[in-house]
Amino acid sequence: MLERADNPGVDPRPYNTAAVLDHEGRLIAKYRKIHLFDVDLPGRVTVRESDMKMPGAEVVTAATPLGKIGLSVCYDIRFPELYRRLTWAGAQIITLPSAFTFPTGEAHWEALIRARAIENQVYMIAPAQFGPNIHGFSDYGNSMIVDPWGRVLARAADQEGVVVAPIDLEYQERVRRELPALSHARLREERG
């Protein structure tokens, strides 16, 4: 959703923000998209998100009854360092609401989501818009939930709907214990 900037007199651009609400509708976390989508695919798609939005700067997680959720938005998926920071911050599940363009989505959407799930041994929940949008091109869709082993547990058809899958944190712990890649990471920043 669009969030009004803290300093509208200085820069009127809003943030592209993902919010987490608790069971009573209270805001418990918000993430302002860090990586803005500026791309020119000649003859297909040109987007300059930075002309219209302000970038965020904080890595955000939220403690929920389901587990600790890391927040990201759309184009962030192309920056694995964000996902590793979310993992070091304790994320067990990472969300990725998106409006991927059709050309980039068709080529990279599933591969990137599965890669982030595998390399961080997390659940990825990736709801995605599909079909024609107000900008004159089509969004890819293909909402999915991927487990820490990289298996697609659920995938949406290209229509309105809801995708659900079990989140099993005991299974996640088993994956992390049996293939302890996270503890083997040698080039790591300070854990946050």
pLDDT tens, residue order, the chain (192 aa): 989 887 767 888 999 999 999 999 999 999 999 998 888 877 777 778 888 899 999 999 999 999 999 999 999 999 999 999 999 999 999 999 998 888 888 899 999 999 999 999 999 999 998 878 777 778 888 999 999 999 999 999 877 889 999 999 999 999 999 999 999 998 876 554
> In the chain, where are the structural domains located?
33-184
CATH of 33-184, one of 3.60.110.10, 2.20.25.90, 3.40.50.2300, 3.40.390.10: 3.60.110.10
Strand 67-71 and strand 93-95: the pairing is parallel
How would you label 141-152 residue by residue, b for 16+ Cβ within 10 Å and e otherwise? Answer: bbbbbbbbebeb
Helix, strand, coil content of the chain in percent (nearest 5): 25, 30, 45
